[in-house]
A and B are shown apart, each in its own frame.
Chain A
Amino acid sequence: MKRILLSLGLIASLLFAFACERKGGPGAGGNSGPIVVGYYGDLTGRTSNFGQSTKNGVEMAADEINKAGGINGRQITILSEDDEGRPEKAATVVTKLIDQDRVIALLGEVASGNTLAAAPKAQAAKVPMISPSSTNPAVTQVGDYISRVCFIDPFQGDVMAKFAANTLKAKKAAIMLDFNSPYSRGLTEFFEASFKKLGGEIVDKQSYTQGDRDYKGQLTAIRSKNPDVIYVPGYYGEVGVIAKQAKQLDIKAPMLGGDGWDSTQLWDLGGDALNGDYISNHYSVDDPSPAIQKFVTDYKARYGNVPDALAALGYDAMKVLADAIKRAGTTEEPQLKDAIAATKNFAGVTGTISLDKDRNAVKPAVVLKLQDHKYTYVETIYPEGMTPPAAVPATSPAAAAPASPAAATKKPAASPAAAKVSP
């Protein structure tokens, strides 16, 4: 008898739990109560600097919005999940955020491979997802609920190819790519195409996989081809070591990279070996624009370090989402995802954000030079068909072009748009 009662009790409590689940956890949609937003990222894995920075940016933006009275009187709650930088874990935590926590929208991930694993879950559940910084084109092709606030790899690869060919006057480039990463393969493909189109030659292409411990075999092969530049579109953990080992092999050619390099740990690993290398990135902390300087100051006051581009993109992703909720007037679907897709000329820290028809942000990239543990601004490269905003105190592109590029390199504070490489 006792056993029957016990099992009945168990069944009852399970049913109760199920009923609660169905009714919605903390963040069921609707037009009242707190707005629950899910964040997922790598907080403890190989790319944890990425996930932590982005999380900092997202939380800072949410706090600012809440302090200013929330969105239409509703406060934002951020629920964070750690995916350890593993695609399969990313899919799991996103499923949890959607099914259990009933988030109205998702922010994440940084690494394209992880976003690609999680995006189909969000698309199937019709929960909008904004990726702050996944640049692989395939990410938003998953479906109409997926968007991003950063530029995409065809542009980023193109930027570095243009910089190498036009500014560094490089003729021969070698590529060292992370074979298993969609991010790295994407950038390689677009860099290669663009660099060849500009008259350059790819003299060697070597690959490694994340977690390799020795890169000298590849680097020695690259060295024997004498390239002018080496393009390494990888993530900071491997890149720092590659730079160090390249220096040990006495390789003088500068290395070029993408936003995947941007992390404080890059310097711990690579140290002085990184001096003279260049990366393309989403924004520069040296940019004198008041919006960026305010963000940098606030971030420093809150977290004690200089925000990297991922923090800025996390911040922008949250702000874009808040703006969309405000415009939609609801967190219901499909109004919210339509509002996100309709984002136009949103003034973010990382530039003016407008989403194109594929829900990718169209905005310029900056090229930064690595020197003595600092990133210094070199130039801004605009996507085709986009002109520098008139608000920037830059002269017309025609007038800026004859000015020697060295001037822009020396005085980064002048204007981010001072040096423009015409597309």
Chain B
Amino acid sequence: MDTFVQQLINGLTVGAIYALIALGYTMVYGILRLINFAHGDIYMVGAFIGYFMAFPLGFATGPSLLGLSVVLIGSMIAAALVGMAIERFAYRPIRKYARMTTLITAIGVSLLIENLFVVWFGAAPRAFPQLLREQSYTLFGNAAISKSQILIFAVSVALMLLLQWVIFKTKVGTAMRAVSFNLNSAKLMGINTDFIISFTFALGSALAAAAGVLTAQYNPQIDPLMGIITGLKAFVAAVLGGIGNVPGAVLGGLLIGIAETFVVGYGQNVGIPTTFRDAVAFAILILVLLFRPTGLLGSTVQEKV
């Protein structure tokens, strides 16, 4: 039982990270019908910005709550700017062409970011400084939860609630929803669609950067290619929940995280090797596409002829 609860906690931690990244995929898809494959790399960029902020600001020497908040918020803002820049210079000029063009561009941008970072900072993993004094608390029995895990839960829940508020209670959010229904009609209603799209990228990128800094507290190893597999899994999470659906992305992220951890923790008992952890997400993707292409919470939209 202890072990089960522990695995659940482990899975939820990983899942919360996937959920934060999946939100960015799903929001951009909702508005532009674009799978932004560079999104996983924004997660990596976020972790690197945090890394390079921590040292000159003197937060790398010891854990402090101030340091953590400054690094977290700073990297969210910086990553939001990066996300907006990518949209402005890579996606906007080709928005009027076929959707496939943007998709391929997105893959190109992803490769560009990864390799630029390899050239600039080298492929060797770096150790992210410890910004949180690590401590474990015993929940019940033997199940332990560490401070970094609590941080991940707390920050991701707060960010998700904030996002929900932005989307449903603010003017910008209303405009975002209008654009996601129909971009051209929204434009005709006087909505500055370029701004809304830009804003969506900023929002998604900030969430991904938060995920990057949070993971780095949990697993201090960061490298330029860390966004590839995590980004892909978050994408699967978005599809699982129903791409374009915000609560779906969170649900999908948590489910993928738990599924992955359970395969690692219990797979050996039923003959599934631990190394299948990455395969799980993609097996889920195939099953979803076969049996419920709209995802768990997605709705079927009838195409009118």
Q: Do A and B come from one complex?
A: yes
Interfacial residues, chain A to chain B (CB-CB below 8 A): 44-46, 48-49, 84, 179-180, 206-209, 211-214, 216-218, 220-221, 223-224, 237, 240-241, 244-245, 247-250, 265, 268-269, 271, 273
CB-based contact B261/A216 at 8 Å? yes
CB-based contact B230/A250 at 8 Å? no
* Distance of A245 Cα from B218 Cα, bound (Å): 8
Chain A interface: which of B83-91, B144-152, B172-180?
B144-152
Which chain A residue lies CB-closest to B262?
A: A217
Report B219-234 CB contacts with A as 1/0, cut-off 8 Å. 1110101100110000
The residues of A that contact B130 with a CB separation of less than 8 Å are 271
B5 to chain A, nearest CB (A): 10
Which chain B residue lies CB-closest to A45?
A: B123
The residues of B that contact A224 with a CB separation of less than 8 Å are 2-3
CB-based contact B3/A223 at 8 Å? yes
The residues of B that contact A217 with a CB separation of less than 8 Å are 7, 10-11, 260-265, 274, 277
The residues of A that contact B142 with a CB separation of less than 8 Å are 223, 250
CB-based contact A237/B10 at 8 Å? no
Which chain B residue lies CB-closest to A267?
A: B127
CB-based contact A249/B144 at 8 Å? yes
CB-based contact B275/A179 at 8 Å? yes
Given the interface pairs A46-B123, A218-B264, A269-B127, the reply to whether A244 lies near B7 with Cβ below 8 Å is no
Query: Quick one: which of A206, A213, A221 contacts B219, CB cutoff 8 A?
Result: A213
CB-based contact A207/B275 at 8 Å? yes
CB-based contact B226/A213 at 8 Å? yes
Task: Tell whether B134 is near chain A: CB-to-CB under 8 Å.
Answer: yes
Q: How large is the interface on B (under 10, 10 to 19, 20 to 34, 35 or more residues)?
A: 35 or more
Given the interface pairs A44-B123, A206-B274, the reply to whether A213 lies near B3 with Cβ below 8 Å is no
Task: Tell whether B108 is near chain A: CB-to-CB under 8 Å.
Answer: no
* Distance of A241 Cα from B222 Cα, bound (Å): 11
29 contacts between A and B (CB under 8 A): A49-B124, A179-B273, A207-B275, A211-B229, A212-B277, A213-B221, A213-B226, A213-B230, A214-B14, A214-B219, A217-B10, A217-B261, A217-B262, A217-B274, A217-B277, A220-B3, A220-B6, A221-B3, A221-B265, A241-B220, A245-B218, A245-B219, A248-B146, A250-B138, A250-B142, A265-B125, A268-B220, A269-B127, A269-B220
* Distance of A153 Cα from B7 Cα, bound (Å): 33
Task: Tell whether B136 is near chain A: CB-to-CB under 8 Å.
Answer: yes
Which chain A residue lies CB-closest to B127?
A: A268
Which chain A residue lies CB-closest to B118?
A: A44
CB-based contact A248/B136 at 8 Å? yes
The residues of A that contact B156 with a CB separation of less than 8 Å are none
- Excluding A84-B123, A179-B273, A212-B277, 19 further A-B contacts by CB distance (< 8 Å) are A179-B275, A213-B215, A213-B221, A213-B230, A214-B10, A214-B13, A214-B219, A216-B261, A217-B7, A217-B11, A224-B2, A237-B221, A241-B220, A244-B134, A249-B6, A249-B144, A250-B136, A250-B142, A265-B127
A207 to chain B, nearest CB (A): 5
B273 to chain A, nearest CB (A): 7
The residues of A that contact B125 with a CB separation of less than 8 Å are 46, 237, 265
B277 to chain A, nearest CB (A): 7
* Distance of A163 Cα from B247 Cα, bound (Å): 53
CB-based contact B144/A250 at 8 Å? yes
